[in-house]
Amino acid sequence: MADTIKIVIAGPRGRMGREAVKLVQNTPHFTLAGAVDHRNDGKTLGELEGFADSNIPVYSDLEKCFQDTLPDVLIDLTTPETGYLHTRTALLNQVRPVVGTTGFNDEQLKELKQLAEEREIGVIIAPNFAIGAVLMMKFSQMAAKYLDDVEIMEMHHDQKLDAPSGTALKTAQMIQQQRASKKQGHPKEQETIQGARGADMDGMKIHSIRLPGLIAHQQVMFGGEGQLLTIRHDSHDRTSFMSGVKICVETIMTLNTLVYGLENILD
């Protein structure tokens, strides 16, 4: 691993981006080389509202940012469309992407994996950087082996663009590895309002709640004869995600493929 890891952050004004800037600036072996912000080309980070005085250059053009600052890692915390384009551009420029942005589809993930392997460069896409959330997913996968009637309820702030959340999808995929496809509920059940039973994945139901006041929360409920198991995780603050970002940045220096999910790099 290089002594100091040079990092570019895309989306620095966002709620996650601001925490990531603090993380990078407060970590001795990380250096913030630049930031990518589509509204503030040519400024410095210190000129943007809410940032301490700093000469870190801000670019709207990711490639130009890479050419000028020569980073090791891109941390992307933007929007699904932009995040995908940024990840692709980073791989084409031999910069390792750590992607927290959610909402990529299977085709995009497949293409990025292929690109990472062709270029022999690591990329981590982590729908949830919170260690507690990763444990929630792992415990849910364990429970599904014994209790296969499952409903996932994810709850997020009302500015979130994608539904269901990346975490809910990832949880469902992990449960799928343990649980055979199964139709849940009454065989003749009917919705009198469309969507009342939530989204369906192999018979598992996923419910997405969006309300101001929420940050990121999920509970996975398992029903069995005479019993109910609920596994729940709450992120009360976006700082909950930053230890995971740090682990990803450190680990990506040793990878040469795409890793999807923080659980795949934790011991």
- Beta-carbon-side half-sphere exposure of residue 106 (alpha carbons within 13 Å): 3
Strand order in the sheet with 204-210: 199-201, 204-210, 149-156, 216-224, 227-235
Span 213-232, contacts to ligand NAP by CB under 6 A:
216
DSSP codes of every residue in 127-149: S---HHHHHHHHHHHHHHTT--E
- Exposed, middle or buried: residue 179 (CB in 10 Å: 0-12, 13-18, 19+)? buried
For residues 232 to 251, the per-residue mask of contacts with ligand NAP, x marking binding by CB under 6 A and - elsewhere, is ---------x----------
Regarding beta strands 5-10 and 73-76, do their DSSP bridges make them parallel or antiparallel, or are they unpaired? parallel
Span 8-37, contacts to ligand NAP by CB under 6 A:
10-11, 13-17, 36-37
Instruction: Tell me the closest approach of the beta carbon of residue 115 to ligand NAP, in angstroms.
Output: 20
For residues 174 to 213, the per-residue mask of contacts with ligand NAP, x marking binding by CB under 6 A and - elsewhere, is ----------------------------------------
Nearer to ligand NAP, 22 or 197 (CB): 22
Instruction: Tell me the closest approach of the beta carbon of residue 258 to ligand NAP, in angstroms.
Output: 15
Residue nearest to ligand NAP (CB): 14
Nearest residue to 7 (alpha-carbon basis) of 46, 43, 45, 35: 35
Nearer to ligand NAP, 65 or 201 (CB): 65
Nearest residue to 31 (alpha-carbon basis) of 86, 84, 76, 71: 71
Instruction: Tell me the closest approach of the beta carbon of residue 124 to ligand NAP, in angstroms.
Output: 10
Catalytic machinery residues: 156, 160
Q: Which stretch binds ligand NAP (CB under 6 A): 77-85, 139-147, 225-233, 248-256?
A: 77-85
The span from the CA of 154 to the CA of 248, in Å, is: 24
- Asked if 171 interacts with ligand NAP (CB under 6 A), we say no
- Asked if 82 interacts with ligand NAP (CB under 6 A), we say yes
Nearest residue to 61 (alpha-carbon basis) of 88, 89, 98: 89
The span from the CA of 47 to the CA of 53, in Å, is: 7
Q: Is 103 left (phi over 0), alpha (psi -120 to 50) or beta?
A: left
For residues 95 to 134, the per-residue mask of contacts with ligand NAP, x marking binding by CB under 6 A and - elsewhere, is -----xxxx----------------------xxxx-----
Q: In the complex, which residues of this chain contact ligand NAP (CB under 6 A)? A: 10-11, 13-17, 36-39, 77-79, 82, 100-103, 126-129, 159-160, 216, 241
